[in-house]
Amino acid sequence: MLIVVPKVLTKEQVAASRMVTDDAKWIDGRATAGAQAAAVKQNMQLPDSAPEARQLSEMVLEALFKSPLFVSFALPLRVLPPMFNRYGSGQFFGSHVDGAIRGIPGTGARMRTDVSVTLFLSEPDEYDGGELCVVDSYGTHEIKLQAGDAVLYPATSLHHVKPLTRGFRVASFFWVQSMVRDERARTMLFDMDQTIQKLTTSLGVKNPEVVGLSGIYHNLIRYWADA
């Protein structure tokens, strides 16, 4: 399942981010790719150790965890510090599946990648091409969002970024290890949580059916979650 989380960053936060990234020193994106990905990857990336990358990473994480939609969908246990990339004219990222395990910088710890996240920092009219294309059982989804919006999708998905033909595409990308490993279970929990929120709005938080359904939701979390 794929969802869009709108307005993770405000327009002011996007503008502040772009002021930082426009002046940043970018490196070849293949420096952080595995062997398979490096063979099909042509973009630029901010070094993880760069002060501006750490500054922006903290801002993105703080904003993301304020989004109930993100938390409901991802059920995050660990989040890799956000990274930042830039595509210019002619650059692209060919079809690949994200690596299953990532090291968490500066900790020596590792995490499983369950959910992939791309947060767009360029407006769609700033560049041509550059669509994120995610393949699932329903076909290929082409994604090109407003600056500040994020897309979340299973890290098991085959995906690619189309070549740019004009401008620059700047984005943040990272992964989430969910408390619930199984994608189908996460999808059912997400659908149930969204239904509970709608029923709460129409019936009230004290409605017996809402309370009962909420109890089932939390008991399923207990059954499936690793925390």
Instruction: Spell out the residues 6+ positions from residue 194 whose beta carbon is closer than 8 angstroms to its own.
Output: 72
Instruction: Kindly state the average pLDDT of the residues 137-142.
Output: 94
Q: What is the mean pLDDT of residues 29-46?
A: 82
The secondary structure of the chain, three-state, reads CCEEECCCCCHHHHHHHHHHHHCCCCEEHHHHCCHHHHCCEECEECCCCCHHHHHHHHHHHHHHCCCHHHHHHHCEEEECCCEEEEECCCCEEEEECCCCEEECCCCCCEEECCEEEEEECCCHHHEEECCEEEEECCEEEEECCCCCCEEEEECCCEEEECCEEEECEEEEEEEEEECCCCHHHHHHHHHHHHHHHHHHHHHCCCCHHHHHHHHHHHHHHHHHCCC
Q: What is the CATH number of domain 3-178?
A: 2.60.120.620
Note the pLDDT of residue 204: 97
pTM: 0.94
In the prediction, which pLDDT does 38 show? 74
pLDDT at 200 over 70: yes
What confidence category does residue 34 fall into, taking pLDDT thresholds of 50, 70 and 90? low
Task: Report the topology of domain 183-224.
Answer: DNA Excision Repair, Uvrb; Chain A (4.10.860)
Residue 33 has pLDDT above 80, yes or no: no
Domain residue spans in the chain? 3-178, 183-224
Any idea how long the chain is? 227
Average pLDDT in the 72-83 region?
97
Answer yes or no: is pLDDT of 115 > 90: yes
Q: What is the mean pLDDT of residues 74-81?
A: 97
pLDDT at position 48: 87
pLDDT tens digits along 80-108 = 999 999 999 999 999 999 999 999 988 98
pLDDT at 128: 98
Average pLDDT over the chain, rounded to an integer = 95
